[in-house]
Structure 1
Amino acid sequence: MNLKITGLNFDVTEAVKKHVAAKLERINRHTDNVISVTVTLSVEKVNKKAEADVHLVGKDLHVEAVESDMYAAIDVLMDKLDRAVLKHKGKSNDVRSAPAPAVVEEE
């Protein structure tokens, strides 16, 4: 998995990078189809915004969260991302596990 963390109007410290990487471990436990993750952290006056673009096999996900604290925004972002990945995983498993429709030949 490729991980890219960028900051807009925000200096990304080593502690923030470690926090994001630790939270992403939970996503890796749910699916192994993650190709790359791009996390963008930005500051807009008093609001801290965290966005993530996740490239999965067959699907791209975009999730964002806005909070008053950067660590809280990252935590909320990872919760949303976790739900989105589980939802995608459930949908893809439902399609694969559905039986193929029977073909009826008319004579």
Structure 2
Amino acid sequence: MNLNITGRHVEVTPAIRDYLSSKLDRVIRHFDNVTSVTVTLSVEKLKQKVDVTLHVRGKDIFVESEDADLYAAIDAMTDKLDRQVQKYKQKLTDHNHESVKHQAPPEV
């Protein structure tokens, strides 16, 4: 998995990088097919903003979060991303089971 962290008007310190990677590891353990993650940290007036694009096979999952505190924005983004990854994973498993259910019965 490739992790790209960029900062707009904010310096990406090693502490922020470690915090982000630990939070993203929690999300990625649910799903093994993650190829890359792109994180953009930005400051707009008094709002800290975090954008994440998670590249998985067949889909890109995008999440953004804003808060007055950067760490709170990262936490909110992680929760949103976790829900979306679990929803996508559930869709994949549901679709795989439906194809087995709708097959024609074997002819005798």
* Fold agreement, TM-score > 0.5: yes
CA distance in 2, matches of 1:6, 1:86: 26
3-state DSSP of counterpart to 2:91: helix
Matches within 5 A, 1:1-107: 1-98=1-98, 99-103=100-104
Q: C-alpha displacement at 1:101, in angstroms?
A: 2.5
- How high is the TM-score relative to the length of structure 1? 0.93
Deviation sequence 1:60-95 (CA, Å, 0-9, x none): 011000000000001100110000000000001100
CA distance in 2, matches of 1:70, 1:102: 50
CA distance in 2, matches of 1:72, 1:36: 23
Return structure 1 stretches of 4+ with deviation > 3 angstroms: none
Q: Which runs of 5+ in 2 are unaligned?
A: none
Aligned CA RMSD, in angstroms, stands at: 1.2
Q: Which runs of 5+ in 1 are unaligned?
A: none
Counting aligned pairs with the same residue, the percent is 48
Taking a change above 3 Å as real, the CA distance of residues 100 and 9 of structure 1, as seen in their structure-2 partners, is: same
- How high is the TM-score relative to the length of structure 2? 0.92
Q: C-alpha displacement at 1:43, in angstroms?
A: 0.2
3-state DSSP of counterpart to 1:30: coil
Q: C-alpha displacement at 1:100, in angstroms?
A: 4.7
Q: C-alpha displacement at 1:27, in angstroms?
A: 1.4
3-state DSSP of counterpart to 2:25: helix
CA distance in 1, matches of 2:71, 2:103: 52
Aligned residues: 104
